[in-house]
Structure 1
Amino acid sequence: MKQPFNYLRTGVLGLLMAATGVQAQNKVTLRTDAAAPTINRNIYGHFAEHLGNCIYGGFYVGDTSHIPNTNGVRNDIIAALRKLKVPNLRWPGGCFADTYHWKDGVGPKDKRPTLVNTWWGGVTEDNSFGTHDFLNLCEELGAEPYLAGNVGSGTVQELADWVQYVNFPGKSPMSDLRQANGRKDPWKVKFWGVGNEAWGCGGNMKPEYYSDIYRKYATFMSGPLFKIASGANSSDYNWTEVLMKNIPTNMVNGLALHHYSVIEWNHKGDAVNFTEEQYFQTMTSACFMDTLIRKHSAIMDKYDREKKVALVVDEWGGWYDVQPGTNPGFLFQQNTMRDAMIAGVTLNIFNNHADRVRMANLAQAINVLQAVILTKGDQIILTPTYHVMEMYNVHQDATQIPLEIQSNDYTSGKGKLPAVTASASKDKAGLTHISLVNIDPKKAQEITVSTQDAYKSVSGRILSSKMQDHNSFTQPDLVKPQAFSGAAIKDKTLTVKLPPCSVVVLELK
């Protein structure tokens, strides 16, 4: 089947408009007459692992804290995440999930056993944040919970009991325990991960072995659940092939995929003090997401032509060296305009593959990897990634508009990439939104957008700054969205001038 979205490069790289520094025009064509899927809101999901200060010191400060909170969860974080319209939140891991025993995190907090987080920093946790705390947090956010089950060190019975504990409305041992712990009505959790990274920290399994393990666990998870298998590590296409071949589509609803934008795993580079060459390498890794989705989707199509099984990219984002002076197991890193570029490019890719990608989770929400929020005492800051996620939430549950794009190249000594990426959608109110990203940190880009519909007006917002710029606790608003005036529309043609290193979301009426 012909893909509605493709990149075409022009051969006019060197033609610059001397006065403005704008390259020869890029072209985007919107195909509003083409049949297209809905962009599932769950593409904009987030991830909260027991890792560093994501949960403790991030989300959760305890109900005795002087920081305003609701049942121990910070009110300022709840408000910020509500503005993002977080559709789903994944918990408790990550690698942590396959060492987590959920019964240790329910009941009176002063009677819960402690655990040692052997994966992340070797710290001792008191289990004060558990199932009730997480699911009540999701209710506060209006987000669907996504629970990652312990397959690596757990048992089938343990996971089956967890499902019953949170979902069963009648009388049973687990629903009785839930009520004894203070919750009468079930939470009705739909999304369940059957293990995490089974190829690595989830058990170092082979795909043939995990396929059978998955089938066994899934069999005993009762109810109308959305079951997600532990999928491939980036370009391990054989893993996808084996799982799709060995697991019937009536037993699985989603297949996970993990891919991080990394320069080199052993030399990730600094989160702030990076060179343009390192920036280019990071963006190359981010753009590779499009290739990954195409190739994994092609394998899935062989066994699932009706696309019943979703591709769930439940870990993605930038990964750099930890901030100097912090616990290396806490994965704390600053968040710059480079991360905004990763977010914009990746979300455009997801939007354009909405037929197969129907869920994703940025790693991670607070204080870890490509976080949307950083905390320090009673302060929080919103990162450039936060602002991109907020600008893009107009695409949630909107109808994708297929597009074709012809982009100039962004070149480096390491090669070349399309400078411009884009995605578009039309919401239920009839508004069209176009997301445009210029990853070139030095050159502006002029874009011509051709539409089949006539629009009367265009407005928008922009996030633009130098690639190393970031928000700090001394300058919390250095990078934030502004009104955008660089777009004009005439008849069925839209012209847009994108500054270097920028993300723009336009609204057409």
Structure 2
Amino acid sequence: MTLKKKAFTLAVGALLAWSAHAADVQLSIDAGKPGPVIHRNVYGQFAEHLGTGIYEGMWVGPDSKVPNVRGWRKDVVGALKALKVPLVRWPGGCFADEYHWREGIGPRNQRPVKVNTHWGGVAENNAVGTHEFFDLVEQLGAEAYVNGNLGTGSAQEMAEWLEYMTAEGNSTLAQLRRKNGRDKPFRVHYFAVGNEAWGCGGNMTPEYYVNQYRQVATFLKTPDNNRPKFIASGGNANDTRWTEVLSTQNIKFNFDAIGHHYYVFPSGKWEGKGSAAGFKEDEWISLLSYTQDFEKTVAANIAILDKNDPQKRIGLYLDEWGSWYDPEPGTNPGFLVQRNTLRDAVLAALHFHMFHAHADRVHMTNIAQMVNVLQAMIHTDKTRMVLTPTYHAFALYTPFQDATTLPATLSGNPEYALAGKSLPAVSASAARGKDGKLYLALINVNPREAQTVKLAVQGAAARRAVGQVLSGEAMDSENTFAKPEAVKPKPYEAQARDGALSLPLPPKSIVVVALEG
């Protein structure tokens, strides 16, 4: 037995000894009642022209001394590929409604330089445009989500961009694409008409936007074999009005989904959101508890769709979500730089369980954002790269991509409460993976007390659980360039005793296992 395995076995033993003094949480899984499939794009990502989210963080240019493939950093792309990133949304965000695609094609040294008025007032040299973006997603093996410009653009501009990307014949735009180095059309999987039309995308009412959408969508045409799903800009936070208006207008052309954005802050307030690290337990529970408000909003929007669209033609895409804190001191506030801790990993996992629970309507989500911005997967500094706790949370849950949900019912689940906030101590999600295995994810949100989950599985044998556990020494444990593996998954294993399988959960932990007979 290795030293690490022996140490973990001793830790599990200690937790089992603790469980003798506390009531077990009961979890029942019915393996014989498959539910909706968890679309892999629920684990989608978002890359905006914002701070160092693209430039420096991922794109260094083909002439850089940083190892790269056609300008994209090898280390970052390799880490994202290992994460099995299924989808990338680009070029924004708020940036999308000031982005004009023709400025991002052709020789890079001839592209116009503009001011990024939304994010930091810095120069945008358009080095990353359509061709570069599709090179990135093809390197990742991911699908492409392109956000069109409604705010300062036009129906013509969006229609011509789609033609440039997808045309197969000899039109002038198809020939221009070939001149710029791409013979075959790009595969566009998703296309959105504007972003946050209620705010930075134009400060529109839903009634005004829906007429804008009708007009633009009429002219969005592609070959049948390369038709994207078309997304309307929906509401944000606890809003349901946008979903109500969009789903009752009988939009006849190119309408497949409604986007919705939801960010959480420890303070619950836009001004003075709270710190990303160095927080106390009241801020830990406060941030995590807001996932319950998010779920209520998702359920309310789905209820409206179920009423107005019983055939379930319209998806609800949560295409921006995540934690948002006060900017890291000493950084450009417009770059949205923040530290990433164990709390963010637990937050992400709680979101995953919600997405699984609503898999019949929630077919895609995009965490904000992929590199260096907000709740990022990766932080970089010149040639250095570090994987965040959120990255590891996404890695743990890769078996749930395209898995089939299974009913998982908790009982005897204690409430974790502090400072007027509360949420269930344990969260669970179960699914049958594409590989046929039965997977179980468990979260213990209590940072001070361990929990033990006693498992009962109907329709399948479960005598052993094998997987990984993610936790850390402190609530704000993080990976830094000096200590890049402070928060990292460790092996986890539990065996049935006297015919019963119990899974000990350390405080502030995420456990993902395959159940074996």
Q: 1:324 aligns with which of 318, 326, 329?
A: 329
Q: 1:475 aligns with which of 480, 483, 494?
A: 483
SS at 2:333's partner residue? coil
Query: In structure 2, what is the Cα distance between the partners aligned to 1:491 and 1:20?
Result: 16
- The answer to whether the Cα contact below 8 Å between 1:287 and 1:345 also exists between their aligned partners in 2 is no
Query: In structure 2, what is the Cα distance between the partners aligned to 1:85 and 1:390?
Result: 8
Pair 1:333 & 2:338 matched: yes
What is the CA distance between 1:31 and its match in structure 2? Answer: 2.1
Q: 1:460 aligns with which of 459, 467, 474?
A: 467
Amino acid at match of 1:389: F
Query: In structure 2, what is the Cα distance between the partners aligned to 1:78 and 1:203?
Result: 34
Aligned to 1:431: 437
What is the CA distance between 1:250 and its match in structure 2? Answer: 5.9
Aligned to 2:404: 399
Query: In structure 2, what is the Cα distance between the partners aligned to 1:424 and 1:99?
Result: 42
Query: In structure 1, what is the Cα distance between the partners aligned to 2:184 and 2:28?
Result: 50
Query: In structure 2, what is the Cα distance between the partners aligned to 1:494 and 1:393?
Result: 24
Aligned to 1:293: 298
Question: Against the structure 1 CA distance between its residues 238 and 21, is the aligned structure 2 distance closer, same or farther, given a 3 Å change threshold?
Answer: farther
Query: In structure 2, what is the Cα distance between the partners aligned to 1:489 and 1:242?
Result: 52
Aligned to 2:110: 111
Pair 1:241 & 2:244 matched: yes
TM-score by length of 2: 0.93
Aligned to 1:5: none
Query: In structure 1, what is the Cα distance between the partners aligned to 2:95 and 2:332?
Result: 17
Q: 1:379 aligns with which of 352, 367, 384?
A: 384
Query: In structure 2, what is the Cα distance between the partners aligned to 1:284 and 1:334?
Result: 20
Q: 1:418 aligns with which of 395, 406, 424?
A: 424
Deviations 1:219-270 (A, max 9, x none): 1111322001101112111111111111437631111111011122111111
Question: Against the structure 1 CA distance between its residues 145 and 404, is the aligned structure 2 distance closer, same or farther, given a 3 Å change threshold?
Answer: same
Question: Against the structure 1 CA distance between its residues 253 and 482, is the aligned structure 2 distance closer, same or farther, given a 3 Å change threshold?
Answer: same
Structure 1 residue runs without a partner (length 5+): 1-15
Alignment of 1:15-414 (within 5 A): 19=18, 23-223=22-222, 224-248=227-251, 251-263=254-266, 264-406=269-411, 407-414=413-420
Query: In structure 1, what is the Cα distance between the partners aligned to 2:427 and 2:21?
Result: 16
TM-score by length of 1: 0.94
Aligned to 2:496: 489
- The answer to whether the Cα contact below 8 Å between 2:43 and 2:394 also exists between their aligned partners in 1 is yes
Amino acid at match of 2:439: H
What is the CA distance between 1:491 and its match in structure 2? Answer: 8.4
What is the CA distance between 1:279 and its match in structure 2? Answer: 1.3
Give me the identity figure in percent: 45
- The answer to whether the Cα contact below 8 Å between 2:464 and 2:501 also exists between their aligned partners in 1 is no
- The answer to whether the Cα contact below 8 Å between 1:146 and 1:190 also exists between their aligned partners in 2 is yes
Aligned to 1:10: none
- The answer to whether the Cα contact below 8 Å between 2:16 and 2:504 also exists between their aligned partners in 1 is no
Amino acid at match of 2:445: I
RMSD between superposed Cα atoms in Å: 1.6
What is the CA distance between 1:17 and its match in structure 2? Answer: 9.9
- The answer to whether the Cα contact below 8 Å between 2:426 and 2:445 also exists between their aligned partners in 1 is yes
Question: Against the structure 1 CA distance between its residues 213 and 110, is the aligned structure 2 distance closer, same or farther, given a 3 Å change threshold?
Answer: same
Question: Against the structure 1 CA distance between its residues 310 and 494, is the aligned structure 2 distance closer, same or farther, given a 3 Å change threshold?
Answer: farther
- The answer to whether the Cα contact below 8 Å between 2:59 and 2:73 also exists between their aligned partners in 1 is yes
Deviations 1:419-475 (A, max 9, x none): 111111112322011111111111111112221111343201000112110000100
Structure 2 residue runs without a partner (length 5+): 1-14
Query: In structure 1, what is the Cα distance between the partners aligned to 2:21 and 2:253?
Result: 52
Query: In structure 2, what is the Cα distance between the partners aligned to 1:470 and 1:287?
Result: 25
Amino acid at match of 1:409: E
Amino acid at match of 2:353: N
